[in-house]
Chains A and B, each alone.
Chain A
Amino acid sequence: MAEKTCPVRKTIIYLSEQIDSGCLTDPKGRRISEQILHLTEEISEGAAGPDHLSAIDSLIEEYFYSLSPLQNQETGNTLKGILDEHREVFISHIETRNCPSHDCATLAPSPCQMACPAGIDVPTYLSLIAEGRDAEAIEVIRRDNPLPWVCGLICTRPCEMMCVRARIDTPVSIKFLKAFAAERAMSDRAYKNPEKAAFNGKKICVVGAGPGGLSAAYYLALMGYGVRVIEALPVSGGMLMVGIPRYRLPREVIDREVAMIEELGVEFSYNTRFGKDVTFEGLKKDGVDAFFIAIGAHKSWDLGIKGEKEFPRVLDAVKFLKDVALGDHHAPGKHVVVIGGGNVAIDAARTSLRLGAEKVSIAYRRSRTQMPADIEEVEQAEEEGIEFSFLTIPKEIVGENNTITGLDCIKAELIKKKGSDRLAPVPILGKDFTMKIDAVIPAIGQYVDDEGMDAFDQMNWTRRGTIEVNHASMETTMPGVFAAGDAVSGPATVIEAIGGGKRAAEAIDRYLNNIPQPRMPKIPVRYKMEPPIEMSASRKMTLKRPEMPMLNVDRRRTMFQQAELGYDEESVRREAARCLRCDICRRCGKCVTICRSKMGIGALQLGYMDFDDPSETDFRATSEKCITCGACAANCENKAIVIEEKDGQRMLKLCGIVLNKQDIQYCEECNAILPSAEYLQFISQKTGNVTKVSENRLLCNNCQRKLSAKINVETRPVNPNK
């Protein structure tokens, strides 16, 4: 539920208009209005504390003193109305220092943070990593995501999709920088858990030790709850461990981050299936106060074609990957075909190759550009020699004596169908062909395995077979039962599950403390504004996203060693410094407009600021025309672009990027700082036809006034009275 205009900003506008219009004739009412305005402005600037709202409340009450004029009561009632309806937004502004509607300019969030389903404060941790403060960066990340190392290796990185730097060259490599910082902090033994609250006597049962369950367990444990995690598999991590292959995510990464959660006192029960090994009633008897369900989506959809159930070498992708992860390292066949176009299909294909399959192909019914899999994954699979057969619809698995001999397919064409944006594959009659294979791995999607969930009898399921929840609080329809992850969304991403787990932990805490649940989804929190790193415009422009070094292809075709080798330290620090700090600059473009249209100078070439129609950006171009007049800085609400005077130079800086540097001149009389020569030249061009009066002396504003007063006295005729 996105707000049209931010109610905080609305309140400021309303009160300012009232005060300026002069209609508040009662002095007491006017005083109250001014004080409320001041407090609201602080909320809108992120400078408010937890007492601001109650202070506003009691000020509103003051409007209604006895014999208070009607105008006061009207103002009071209007404000009360706004606060009653939008109280959460006010609280959210104070707590998160984030205004998603961009109306409160200083609180406008960065796109990467808003894109992240867990809402990690990306610009803050990138700045920390750029400065080599890895442990602090991990501390910041873990406030919103307890698995930074895991996500640093396998996240689908919606943040990079939104990265503003991509409008200049390429997005910042946000994903991997996290992994580097986590690895370094872990190696330095500086990866630490935050202080946890004392045990509060309440117990929570988390069903499923995947990313959703781990995330909820971590935040609940920090809040002082006793957490027990029930896991059907013998290992933790869920799909991280049994879905994602080891060449993408080494087991140690999961183990070490899970160990951090164990260190908080979370109890893990492996090989324990909910509904069979433990029951709802039994856990209730043990004193469990709330349940969190994160059972994932572990069942593969069937292809629904002939032959699918007849041959043992038709292996569903989920089960295949799980068996391999748990140690069953046998090739599925000599010539393997994987059916599907998502990340799971790629994972199954690349895993088959590493297990020794001679030829592996992927059959997908649409074409390359429609593949939901990550482009990097697809490319890496191609490098390893996996073949793709696009526009291919499987028709029948054929064979004899329990052995597959081929897959009958039909060629498809993509046709635009009414009511759908996605092109639909339609078989072309007569274009049948057979793929010679001996193993088939269908990977066309997963659904939730609801076995053992009967005890949650009041919980509603959606038509898609997922658990129905309120997405702001992750509450199911059954009181005291919460759910998140793939079990709610259907097969989705790790980071969504982590975000859901975190939201659920907060909601469970509210539920057990009788605090009403939020009506709007929680907005990401901005922690501290790290000052931007100062660097020259040339450096900012010439920094390039490093190539990811890869393991050699022979080894990638034969072993489960990690395929992406990671950047070296120098590349990491440089890459982190490439961030444009969109948490400070909200790219309103005012500076560019003023410099070009108002000043007529056009020194700022910041095309990336225009979202819809980006033009060329070159930070270096500024110094060619800029006169350091500071009009851009004077109009920047966020103080993203600033004029700084240091070591005899006046600098124009945008989020730390030194756009221009000019020598400062000084007043000949009092040594006060004066504009640069370029600036004075700009003025003299404009006033060229007007004679100079200051006797060609370089004087400041004050001294000029003094000089003219003196001239005035000296040139005055002698008073006839004397």
Chain B
Amino acid sequence: MSKYYLFQDIKKCIGCHACEIQCKSNKNLPKGPKPCQIIQVGPKFIGGLPKTSFIFMPCFHCENPWCVSACPTGAMQKRSKDGIVFIDNDLCVGCKTCVSACPWGAPQWNQEIGKVVKCDYCMDRIDEGLEPACVTTCTTGCLQFGNVEDTTQIRRERHASAVASLEKSSF
């Protein structure tokens, strides 16, 4: 895994797709490829009420990526300093083996240039100290980007406050 973690607070997400649009516009992509995508699961009935989940699907930047092993040209790479899986456009010849190899459908086909495009956590922005494009525009603030250790902290804190509120209500 990369040393970063892109955390989606599923409870907050309203499925507005702003992250997808910001991502595409930042990478200047045509119709078609979606390096990150909000996938709607449901609605299904939970406790008699229809509930829908919106799952944010970027690239997971696997520890042992299928796409990197599959790529015959060495275009698909894992950045050694932080584990980001990215594609070197100059080396990509458009064979799409990564597309077929990835179990999560992360590498996307860019018809316009005949090459693959994928989520690289906007590594150019990260290197400048900025956040990935999708995170900056999230309307509900449900996307958060940071180091893995920081995001686990968020979860812990949130769980703690939830527990605390339960305690309060018990009074």
Q: Size class of B's contact patch?
A: 35 or more
Q: How far is the CB of A43 from chain B (nearest CB, A)?
A: 20
B55 adjacent to A709 (CB under 8 Å): yes
- Output the nearest chain B residue to A695 by Cβ-Cβ distance: B103
B14 at interface (Cβ–Cβ under 8 A)? no
- Output the nearest chain A residue to B41 by Cβ-Cβ distance: A713
Residues of B near A675 (CB, < 8 A) are 96, 100
A679 to B163, CA, bound (A): 52
Q: How far is the CB of A70 from chain B (nearest CB, A)?
A: 28
Of the listed stretches A125-133, A530-538, A681-689, name the one at the interface; the rest are far from the partner chain: A681-689
A705 at interface (Cβ–Cβ under 8 A)? yes
Q: In B82-129, which residues have CB < 8 Å from any A CB?
A: 91, 93-97, 99-106, 108-109, 114-115
Of the listed stretches A266-274, A339-347, A435-443, A629-637, name the one at the interface; the rest are far from the partner chain: A629-637
User: Among the listed B55, B66, B72, B103, which residue makes an inter-chain contact with A713, where contact means beta carbons less than 8 Å apart?
Assistant: B55
A690 at interface (Cβ–Cβ under 8 A)? yes
Q: In B32-59, which residues have CB < 8 Å from any A CB?
A: 37, 39, 41-42, 46-47, 53, 55, 57
Q: How far is the CB of A588 from chain B (nearest CB, A)?
A: 14
B104 adjacent to A704 (CB under 8 Å): yes
A710 at interface (Cβ–Cβ under 8 A)? yes
A581 to B10, CA, bound (A): 57
Contact of A686 with B39 at beta-carbon distance under 8 Å, contacts A705-B105, A712-B55 already known: no
Residues of A near B31 (CB, < 8 A) are none
A82 at interface (Cβ–Cβ under 8 A)? no
- Output the nearest chain A residue to B113 by Cβ-Cβ distance: A634
B93 adjacent to A705 (CB under 8 Å): no
Contact of A701 with B99 at beta-carbon distance under 8 Å, contacts A594-B93, A634-B94, A713-B53 already known: yes
User: Among the listed A599, A702, A710, which residue makes an inter-chain contact with B93, where contact means beta carbons less than 8 Å apart?
Assistant: A599
Of the listed stretches A134-142, A175-183, A714-722, name the one at the interface; the rest are far from the partner chain: A714-722
A687 to B62, CA, bound (A): 14
B81 at interface (Cβ–Cβ under 8 A)? no
A709 adjacent to B39 (CB under 8 Å): yes
Residues of A near B39 (CB, < 8 A) are 705-706, 709
Residues of B near A198 (CB, < 8 A) are none
A693 at interface (Cβ–Cβ under 8 A)? yes
B64 adjacent to A690 (CB under 8 Å): yes
A687 adjacent to B66 (CB under 8 Å): yes
A629 adjacent to B96 (CB under 8 Å): yes
A424 at interface (Cβ–Cβ under 8 A)? no
A629 to B100, CA, bound (A): 11
A721 to B158, CA, bound (A): 11
A598 adjacent to B101 (CB under 8 Å): no
Residues of B near A680 (CB, < 8 A) are 100
Contact of A630 with B57 at beta-carbon distance under 8 Å, contacts A683-B70, A702-B105 already known: no
Residue picked from B73, B95, B96, B104, most chain A C-beta under 10 Å:
B95
A634 to B116, CA, bound (A): 11
Q: In B138-161, which residues have CB < 8 Å from any A CB?
A: 159
A708 to B95, CA, bound (A): 24
B57 adjacent to A709 (CB under 8 Å): yes
A687 to B102, CA, bound (A): 10
B11 adjacent to A704 (CB under 8 Å): no
B105 adjacent to A683 (CB under 8 Å): no
A523 to B89, CA, bound (A): 36
A694 at interface (Cβ–Cβ under 8 A)? yes
B26 at interface (Cβ–Cβ under 8 A)? no
- Output the nearest chain A residue to B62 by Cβ-Cβ distance: A690
Residues of A near B130 (CB, < 8 A) are none
User: Among the listed B11, B97, B104, which residue makes an inter-chain contact with A708, where contact means beta carbons less than 8 Å apart?
Assistant: B104
Q: How far is the CB of A20 from chain B (nearest CB, A)?
A: 11
A600 at interface (Cβ–Cβ under 8 A)? yes
Apart from A683-B70, A713-B53: 8 A-B pairs, beta carbons within 8 A:
A687-B101, A693-B103, A701-B99, A701-B102, A709-B39, A709-B57, A713-B41, A722-B47
Residues of A at the B interface (CB closer than 8 Å) are 594, 598-601, 629-631, 634-635, 674-675, 679-680, 682-683, 686-687, 689-690, 692-694, 700-706, 708-710, 712-713, 716, 719-722
16 A-B pairs, CB-CB below 8 angstroms? A600-B72, A601-B72, A629-B95, A629-B97, A680-B100, A683-B100, A686-B69, A686-B70, A689-B69, A692-B103, A693-B103, A701-B100, A703-B105, A705-B39, A705-B105, A719-B11
Q: Which are the 5 A-B pairs with shortest beta-carbon distances?
A: A634-B94, A634-B114, A693-B103, A705-B105, A631-B95
Residues of B at the A interface (CB closer than 8 Å) are 10-11, 37, 39, 41-42, 46-47, 53, 55, 57, 64, 66, 69-73, 91, 93-97, 99-106, 108-109, 114-115, 159, 162-163
